Amino acid sequence: MSDWRSFWDSEHSIYVNARHKDVHYREIADQIAAFVPGPSARVLDYGSGDAIHADRVAAVASDVTLCDAAPSVRASMAARFANNPRIKVIAPEDVAALPDGQLDLIVTNSVAQYLTEDELTGLLAMFRRLLATDGTLIFADVIPPDVGALSDVTALLRYAAKNGFLGAALVGLVKTTVSPYRKIRSTLGITQYTQAQFMQTLTDAGFTAERLARNMEHNPARMTFRARPV
């Protein structure tokens, strides 16, 4: 395995146990739900991963589209939500084929670091086209250049202690040091942005942008941006 796409399509151990995965996706779903502007909103969770609690978002929106590059993730989410008419699961190429102005809220959490700067620019142009004129884009968990692996470790341990899986998190951290994640991160790296760079990228893509006071995920050193079409 030598690239991020195949890593996320594999049986990785980023979530150290079932409780970690459950707590993580429940919190992400509740935070996405808090950004939903109203019951008629059409929502896209782009790079959704195993969004096992997407039904919590669907409960306060008109519909939720989950999109992930990994076919195995899409298959698992499609099976999980097969009986929920408000949730659909599609591939990135299907998102590109959606009509203009179709969406009221797009959320992308913890994806920017796995995209090249050119891929990010392309994605933002697509999001700008898909958003309704009064729509909102939330780009979350963007990693500044001075935030490294140590910050992730500290944040994970604090999160695990608070949520009752500290032992599993310690074992998980040891596993991660010898995992494909570590190898790919040291060869391919991740893409990091200063606040000013990310704001400029959003502005160049046709958005007004602000950094929110709090990151959507548990590492407070990472950044969340809210953007609206100009």
Ligand X SMILES: C[S@@+](CC[C@H](N)C(=O)[O-])C[C@H]1O[C@@H](n2cnc3c(N)ncnc32)[C@H](O)[C@@H]1O
Distance between alpha carbon 26 and the CA centroid of its chain, in Å? Answer: 13
Out of 52, 60, 70, 131, point to the residue binding ligand X (CB under 6 A): 70
Contact code string over 26-65 relative to ligand X, x by CB under 6 A = --x------------------xxx----------------
- Please choose, from the candidates 173, 138, 156, 160, the residue with its C-alpha nearest in 3D space to the C-alpha of residue 221: 156
Q: Which is nearer to ligand X, 115 or 168 (CB)?
A: 115
Q: Token pair 């006071």 is at which residue?
A: 213
Tell me if 190 contacts ligand X by CB under 6 A.
no
What is the rounded CA–CA span in Å between residue 81 and residue 87? 7
> Is residue 137 involved in binding ligand X (CB under 6 A)?
no
- Give the shortest CB-70-to-ligand X separation in angstroms: 4
Cα–Cα dist 32/26, whole Å: 10
Contact 228, 137 (CB under 8 A): yes
In the chain the first and final C-alpha atoms are separated, in Å, by 41
Contacting ligand X (CB under 6 A), which of 62, 88, 92, 192? 92
Q: Which of 35, 81, 114, 225 binds ligand X (CB under 6 A)?
A: 114
Task: List beta partners, residue 103.
Answer: 131
Residue nearest to ligand X (CB): 49
Please work out the total of residues on this chain that contact ligand X, with binding judged by CB under 6 A. 16
Where do contacts with ligand X occur on this chain (CB under 6 A)? 8, 28, 47-49, 67-70, 73, 92, 109-111, 114-115
